Each structure stands twice: as structure tokens, then as C-alpha cells.
Amino acid sequence: MASSDSATQGGDLPPQRKSKEISLRQAGERIAAAKTVHAMNSAMALVRAGIRAGAKNLTVIPQVTSNLSVDLLIAAGCVEKLYISYIGFETYGFAPAFRRAAEEKSISVVESDEAFIVLGTRAAASGMPYVPIRRIYEATDLPRLNPLLKKVLDPFTGEETYAIPPLPGDVCLIHAQECDEFGNAQIWSGNQQEIDKAMASKFVIVSTERIVSVDRTRENVDKVTIPGYLVHAVVHAPFGAHPLVWARHYESDTAHLKAYFDAHAQGKVADYLEKFVYGCKDEADYIERVGVRQVMSLMRNV
């Protein structure tokens, strides 16, 4: 008869799942080691961590509309190449760091549109060599401005069509409302780009407002935006989207966004970065510097 210890020493027990939780500092180091980053708008804590860790010469592929998450990377001198469909702050206007960098040609800008970014990301996610797209570019200047758009022949009709190349990434940055320690993430305000960006990337980091139990994740499995098998690392980051809005958690911090714009207008971007990025030992320190009362006041009517 087998000894009582054999059950614990043998292969009869199911393998134990390993937690994917890492620190924000570790996430920053991973970002800094990357060359190409797929970035979702609201992963601000991860962006700040990457800047603090010394990210440089990044190629950034944001979602189709982007704002501070990308502009802050540009302001900190982390970006070498940017695929861009739109970057701005709506009522505040153009993204100031991007505008200056584009005018000075200090970064390489790949002129894109929504279709180019969405379909290029999907090509990388699906392992396709390219995605054909018919006619829409014939009425635009994008083929002249974007050399990555190539013409190919449709093997079935012989018709010429444009081809969008795959846009793979080394690291994907995503923020979630809830995520368990194994990476099953729920994003309640997503734009349907998250899954493609995750699948197009070699390493996926999800920061989250709350780390919840697997039992809670299983209560609403249909609301899991990104399944855990696609996620490599999970970071607990309360207020991780600040100063941007985060659905059901907090509104955008217009006072802080204005301070960011004022810093650009007054030539004090370095002071802003020192106070709110480089000088912060962690995100708790960042929130204290923004102002705890100011941040808490954002948690109304959400």
C-alpha cells in the first residue's frame, strides 16, 4: 500500500496555479526593456512606472484615440516612433508634447488612421502577413504619407488592393477595473481593442483598481474582457488611470490636466515630470503629491 505521503509527493494532485502579481516597479522595468509597446489610454500608473524605470527609444502603438498616456511618454523623451490616428485632449486641444515633437521632428510619426491601427493590430494578433482593405485609401493622402501601405493583387479577382502590415508589440499595457491574481481582467469601459492588443504582444501587463478572488471573476465570466491565459503580469494600482476618467470609479481630474497643460505653456514640463513622475517613490506618493482630497473628490457621480 502506498504511504500517506505519496499523495502529496506524487503526480496525483492537480498542479497549483501560480499568481501573476508583480510590483509596479517590476512592471516599469519590463516596459523599459521593451522596444515596441501597445498602449491603452488609461494605463497611467504603468506609463509613469515605465518612465521612472528609464524607458527610451520606444515605438508606441496606442489605441485609435489617445491622449495623456502617450503624450506623457513623449514629454519624458521615451518615444522614438509613434503610430498615430488621433492624439489630443478634446476641450484642451492638441496634445502639447506630441505637437512640439512632431513640429521639431524629434520623433518619427507614422501617419495612420483607425483602420490601419485596428487591422494592423488584428493582423499581428491573428498571425496574418497582412490585411487587405479595398478602395477607402484611394480617396486619401495616406498612401503617400505612410509607406507601410502597400498595393497587392487580389489572387481571386486580380484587382489591386491595399495591404496593412501586422503591428506586433513586445509589451502591452492595459488598465482594468477588476482582475484576479491569475490575470482574468474585467474592463467595464473598454473599446473592443484590448483583446487584439493583448494577442498582438509578447508580454501583457494588466494594472487594476482591485485584485479580486477567482470566485468573484467566475461570478460574471461573460464580463471577462481579457482571459488570464493571455496575461503575463498583474499589478495592483488603485487610481491607476488618474488623472483620466475611469468608469464606475472616478471622473477625470481636470485640475491636474490643466496643470499639465500649464506646465507646457510655461516651459516647466521638467518641473512637472520631477514632481509627479521621477520624484515619486511609488503611486501612493504620486497621489499624495496630487492631493488626497482632490483625488477623493473625483469619486462622485460615477
Q: What is the Cα–Cα distance from 150 to 161, expressed in whole angstroms?
A: 8
Task: Quote the pLDDT of residue 5.
Answer: 45
Does 290 have pLDDT greater than 50?
A: yes
Does 4 have pLDDT greater than 50?
A: no
DSSP 237: -
Against a cut of 0.75, is the pTM above it?
A: yes
**How confident is the model over 247-265, as a mean pLDDT?**
95
Residues of the chain with CATH 3.40.1080.10: 18-124+168-302
Task: Quote the pLDDT of residue 157.
Answer: 92
Does 7 have pLDDT greater than 50?
A: no
Dihedral sign of CA atoms 270, 28, 242, 124 in order: positive
What confidence tens digit (pLDDT) does each residue in 40-56 have?
A: 989 999 999 999 999 99
Does 13 have pLDDT greater than 70?
A: no
**How confident is the model over 167-174, as a mean pLDDT?**
98
Cell of 120: 494592423
Q: What is the Cα–Cα distance from 76 to 165, expressed in whole angstroms?
A: 29
Cell of 98: 506630441
Of residues 301 and 83, which shows the higher confidence score?
83
Cell of 198: 493583448
DSSP β-bridge partners for residue 176? 208
Look at residue 46 and give its three-state secondary structure: helix
Identify the CATH homologous superfamily for domain 18-124+168-302.
Answer: Glutaconate Coenzyme A-transferase (3.40.1080.10)
Cell of 177: 477595473
CA dihedral 102, 107, 110, 114 (to 10 degrees): -70
Q: What is the Cα–Cα distance from 46 to 240, expressed in whole angstroms?
A: 8
What confidence tens digit (pLDDT) does each residue in 194-233 have?
A: 999 999 999 999 999 999 999 999 988 888 999 999 999 9
Task: Quote the pLDDT of residue 232.
Answer: 98
